[in-house]
Amino acid sequence: MNILGISCFYHDSAASVIKDGQLIACAQEERFTRVRHDPDFPMQAINYCLKEANIGIGELDYVAFYDKPFLKFERILESIVSVSPKGFGTFIKAIPLWMKQKLFIGEEIKRKLGKKEINAKLVFTEHHESHAAAAFFPSPFEDAAFLTVDGVGEWTTTSFGVGLDNLIEIQNEIKFPHSLGLLYSAFTYYTGFKVNSGEYKVMGLAPYGEPKYVSAILDNLIDLKEDGSYKINLDYFDYVGGERMTNAKFHSLFGGAPRQQEAKLTQKEMDLASSIQEVIDEAILRMGRHIHKTTGMKYLCMSGGVALNCVANGKLLREGPFEDIWIQPASGDAGSSLGAALIVHHHILNNPRKGTNFGKMINGAYLGPHYSNEELENYFKNKQIPYHKLSTEEMIGKTAKILTEEKVVGWFQGRMEFGPRALGARSIIGDPRSTKMQSIMNLKIKFRESFRPFAPSVLREDVSKFFDLDSDSPYMLLVAPVKESIRKKMTEEEEKLFGIEKLNVARSELPAITHIDYSARIQTVTEDYNPAYYKLLKEFKKLTGYGVVVNTSFNVRGEPIVQSPEEAYRCFMRTDMDYLVMGDFILDKTEQPKLKEDSNWREEFALD
């Protein structure tokens, strides 16, 4: 039984394949097309997944699409016009796009896959049903509650319910235009970042500010109830019938027009980021308490774009009522390709979870393409790239030694990650003890905003030594405080610093991964799913006493994470990385021939 799951036509399109009950592969289209958040039909991702499963398109039994476009179209006119009469024009303009991408999506899918080849039954799942399935079915819990929160899917923006064995049931929903995700995106837009991709920047900016605007948000923008339900005051927003997220009334409330992209950040943007983050934290915490009380479940699973807010997740785990939470590593729309396929597997085909390895289904999120040592060496030889071939043990020992010398390493190992986080398969790594590492990585390698923090990868058995966390966080989706025992006390002058001035103050024994509020976005590493990365951390611990490294995604600003050896090498050569480790091979930057590139390449990534 072969099931293909697809998500596309909005953002972060992806494909997933389940073969005879086993999850074989998942991948995002952006990793192949190199178009970040690529929304187009994920043909290259599909081809990869089918190849990994060793099947052809004609052998598919089901193709599952991640939402129900007809449900969206049926209600669009009523919703837009009832909320905002001026939205009628927007509706009319949108008809051709919906007709092409939504109304006739079934024919579009068949056309893309090949009408003559495709014999599969086409299934449409509801958007938040797909999110819920992606959250619960691969989780380690036999039974659990689930929470899905995003911008909007069809008409639902927030839902919760219960997963029992092979069934999920949505028990309650909040519908568009009331949306916690769109509220956060409105602040993303207003603070000068790109909607649907810059939300994590707002989250990273929040600790630099003070939550001065919380009252203004709660008094004017959102009516947040004690049970976590909410209503948005649409008088302040333009996302229903207009072409922007916010309007003049919103701008007046916060004292001016939105910041222009790439304009200098001010204390105002930092305070706004801090304020909206605090509101989101509180909303998620109230939802969690209500879901726990309503369902009686010990565990919670989460998905949807807002579930990528690891600050709110960490607060829910620490302060909420659940014994543990599990967050889908590809919580955005990409993960819904997997959710749609799992709906077919469990709901339509009635396959059980109990008695299966459901907790290990997702394989640590390592579900993408991989390259053998033979393939890597052939690439180096064909391109005449200097390299050193070592045994796996020698490679790990050498890499750990390189890291202790404050060198930056591109790390390319095994299967590519599914989801937005690099988890030690396509990562850039460094020494967390270095006071220079954050600045080096931000400005010379990632070419990104200097305020953004870096995450630690830490041995699972050591996480509680350095952080106020003693649970699994394999997907870098939980923020936790750094232990008091390794913090550094600030001087009186340092305590008086504001905003970006705080960045250069070393706040712990691991300054490169300690954010200015003494927090860290943590990835715990075990040997089960990424043995090479685990052994590297063990070796680094032998040399330094710390089983922790800095981990950031293997890409530069504006590009997707690298997928292939060629992309990894080009990124390595275009930046100030010192070494590239791919498989059992180590490449030294000083030995490489000069890359033939336009001399203006760096200017594309330069920051103001």
Vertex 365: Cα angle to 363 and 407 (nearest 5): 115
3-state secondary structure 501-512: HHHHCCCECCHH
Least confident among 62-71, 131-140, 218-227: 62-71
- Is the CB of residue 459 less than 8 Å from the CB of residue 467? no
CA distance linking residue 586 with residue 582, whole number of Å: 7
Q: Is the pLDDT of residue 101 over 60?
A: no
Q: Is the pLDDT of residue 604 over 80?
A: no
Give 128-329's CATH code, choosing from 1.10.10.60, 3.30.420.40, 3.40.50.300, 3.30.70.2860: 3.30.420.40
Q: Is the pLDDT of residue 353 over 80?
A: yes
Look-up of token digits 């399935």? 133
Q: What is the pLDDT of residue 170?
A: 97
- pLDDT tens by residue, 273-306: 999 999 999 999 999 999 999 999 999 999 999 9
Task: For the domain made up of 373-605, give the CATH fold.
Answer: DHBP synthase (3.90.870)
Hey, CA dihedral for 150, 155, 159, 165, is it positive or negative?
Answer: negative
Integer angstrom CA distances of residue 169 from 141, 146, 165, 328, 368? 16, 9, 11, 18, 30
- Report residue 93's pLDDT band, with 50, 70 and 90 as the boundaries: low
For the chain, counts of helices (H) and of strands (E):
20, 21
Regarding beta strands 579-582 and 585-588, do their DSSP bridges make them parallel or antiparallel, or are they unpaired? antiparallel
Q: Is the pLDDT of residue 316 over 90?
A: yes
Vertex 131: Cα angle to 175 and 42 (nearest 5): 115
Q: What is the pLDDT of residue 597?
A: 57
CATH 3.90.870.20 occupies which residues in the chain?
A: 373-605
Q: What is the pLDDT of residue 567?
A: 97
Residue 169 burial (10 A CB sphere; 0-12, 13-18, 19+): exposed
CATH 3.30.420.40 occupies which residues in the chain?
A: 2-66+68-124+335-361, 128-329
Could you report how far apart the first and last alpha carbons of the chain are, in Å?
53
Q: Is the pLDDT of residue 217 over 90?
A: yes
Q: What is the pLDDT of residue 165?
A: 93
DSSP 417-459: BSSSS--SSEEEEE-TT-SSHHHHIIIIIS---TT---EEEEE
pTM of the complete model: 0.91
CATH architecture of 2-66+68-124+335-361: 2-Layer Sandwich (3.30)
**pLDDT above 70 coverage of the chain, percent:** 91
Q: Is the pLDDT of residue 569 over 60?
A: yes
Chain-centre distance for alpha carbon 340:
19
- pLDDT tens by residue, 485-510: 999 988 888 777 766 677 778 899 99
- pLDDT tens by residue, 424-446: 999 999 999 999 898 889 888 88
Q: What is the pLDDT of residue 467?
A: 97
DSSP 536-575: HHHHHHHHHS--EEEEEESS-TTSPPP-SHHHHHHHHHHS
Q: Is the pLDDT of residue 153 over 50?
A: yes
CA distance linking residue 372 with residue 358, whole number of Å: 27
Per-residue tokens: 194: 């790109």
Hey, CA dihedral for 21, 23, 24, 30, is it positive or negative?
Answer: positive
Integer angstrom CA distances of residue 526 from 12, 415, 420, 482, 553? 28, 16, 20, 20, 19
165 Rama class: left (phi>0) / alpha (psi -120 to 50) / beta: left
pLDDT, mean over the chain: 91
